[in-house]
């Protein structure tokens, strides 16, 4: 009788400890969106005609983290005003301050605490921003942050970038450098990478990232929805010739549940010359 009582108490204690130590599941929606810089030559596709629709799209899908590319300072200000629910990180790639395009990271203020953040250049001297690396046509950067989920307490390291559109060597070396910086900054944390990589799924930089342990959420998600392309040049590229060059990568501590290319088109134009992409993830 005593043994039965002891065993019952022991089982109850084990269950209590297990329930207390179990953390809430951390699911995160992450978006990557090349918003197309504010360029006068875009005419009716200019930013002034797209900014409201772009912000409304983000508000509708309500991603927890958004990595944006080609963001000029005036566009950043427009988005900050329209998306007050997000905290914004990033610097201009030309001077490390406000000049040139940003690779901005937006994260929900009520969802995460910022642990640390920073920026580095994609060049032979990554600590110096504003330098063209290798054979690149433009200065390129990465903006990163370590975010702590306020509910689960789990941390996520987010990296956002835009690889060069001309330099083949630069794209490959940028992938190599990005992996090295992730090891340095994120250590053993769960990692997500958002970006416009200016390369298809079988291109050199994508292969480097995958060989370095990153998983392409487009390929590994349980559910994939939408077209198989992201760049459409404001609808000018024939559908059969469009390609997926925007990606969301994760490391082994993150599970990709769903992936979507958002091909939404407002009545009065386009969101951008790229379609945003969205992934639903679970942090292990």
Indicate the pLDDT class of residue 14, thresholds 50, 70 and 90.
very low
Indicate the pLDDT class of residue 142, thresholds 50, 70 and 90.
very high
Which comes out higher in pLDDT, residue 11 or 267? 267
% of the chain surpassing 90 pLDDT: 90
- Arithmetic mean of pLDDT, 118-128: 98
In a domain, 7, yes or no: no
pLDDT tens-digit map of 222-269: 999 999 999 999 999 999 999 999 999 999 999 999 999 999 999 989
In a domain, 13, yes or no: no
In a domain, 202, yes or no: yes
Q: What pLDDT is attached to residue 23? A: 58
Cβ(207)–Cβ(192) under 8 Å? no
Place of tokens 């596709």: 45
Which H or E run contains 9?
Answer: helix 2-21
pLDDT at residue 16 greater than cutoff 90: no
d(C-alpha 199, C-alpha 192), whole Å? 18
Other CB atoms within 10 Å distance of the CB of residue 29: 17
Query: What residues make up the domain containing 132?
Result: 25-283
CATH code of the domain covering residue 46: 3.60.10.10
pLDDT at residue 170 greater than cutoff 80: yes
pLDDT tens-digit map of 78-111: 999 999 999 999 999 999 999 999 999 999 999 9
Half-sphere exposure of 261 (CA within 13 A, CB side): 18
Q: What pLDDT is attached to residue 84? A: 98
Indicate the pLDDT class of residue 5, thresholds 50, 70 and 90.
very low
Which comes out higher in pLDDT, residue 162 or 284? 162
In a domain, 17, yes or no: no
In a domain, 43, yes or no: yes
In a domain, 6, yes or no: no
Cβ(215)–Cβ(251) under 8 Å? yes
Q: Give pTM, 2 decimals.
A: 0.92
Cβ(79)–Cβ(50) under 8 Å? no
CA-nearest of 121, 99, 213, 210 to 170 is 121
254 by Cβ neighbours in 10 Å (0-12 / 13-18 / 19+) ranks as: buried
d(C-alpha 222, C-alpha 257), whole Å? 5
Q: What pLDDT is attached to residue 268? A: 87
With left for phi above 0 and alpha for psi between -120 and 50, is residue 234 left, alpha or beta? left
CA-nearest of 128, 104, 72 to 195 is 104
Which comes out higher in pLDDT, residue 30 or 20? 30
Indicate the pLDDT class of residue 9, thresholds 50, 70 and 90.
very low
CA dist 201 → 138, 177, 184 (Å)? 22, 19, 26
Total domains in the chain come to 1
% of the chain surpassing 70 pLDDT: 92
In a domain, 20, yes or no: no
CA-nearest of 71, 69, 54, 62 to 269 is 54
Which residues share a beta bridge with 133?
A: none
User: Taking all residues of the chain, what is their mean pLDDT, rounded to a whole number?
Assistant: 93
In a domain, 9, yes or no: no
pLDDT at residue 18 greater than cutoff 90: no
């Amino acid at each position: 009788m005593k043994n039965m009582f002891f065993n019952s108490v022991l089982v109850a204690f084990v269950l209590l400890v297990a329930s207390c130590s179990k953390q809430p599941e951390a699911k995160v929606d992450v978006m990557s969106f090349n918003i197309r810089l504010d360029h006068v030559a875009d005419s009716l596709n200019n930013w002034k005609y797209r900014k409201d629709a772009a912000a409304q799209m983000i508000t509708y899908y309500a991603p927890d983290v958004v990595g944006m590319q080609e963001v000029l300072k005036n566009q950043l200000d427009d988005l900050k005003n329209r998306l007050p629910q997000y905290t914004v990180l990033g610097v201009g790639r030309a001077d490390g301050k406000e000049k040139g395009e940003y690779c901005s990271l937006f994260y929900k203020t009520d969802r995460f605490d910022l642990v640390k953040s920073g920026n580095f250049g994609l060049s032979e001297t990554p600590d110096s921003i504003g330098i063209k690396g290798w054979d690149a046509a433009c200065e390129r950067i990465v903006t990163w942050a370590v975010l702590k989920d306020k509910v689960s307490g789990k941390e996520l390291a987010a990296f956002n970038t835009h690889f060069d559109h001309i330099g083949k060597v630069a794209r490959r070396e940028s992938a190599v450098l990005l992996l090295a910086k992730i090891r340095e900054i994120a250590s053993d944390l769960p990692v997500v990478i958002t970006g416009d990589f200016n390369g298809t799924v079988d291109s050199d930089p994508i292969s480097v990232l995958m060989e370095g342990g990153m998983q392409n959420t487009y390929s590994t998600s349980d559910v994939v929805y939408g077209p198989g392309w992201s760049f459409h040049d404001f609808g000018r590229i024939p559908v059969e010739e469009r390609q997926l060059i925007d990606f969301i990568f994760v490391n082994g501590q993150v599970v990709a549940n769903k992936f979507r290319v958002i091909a939404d088109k407002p009545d009065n134009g386009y969101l951008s010359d790229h379609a945003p992409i969205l992934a639903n993830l679970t942090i292990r």
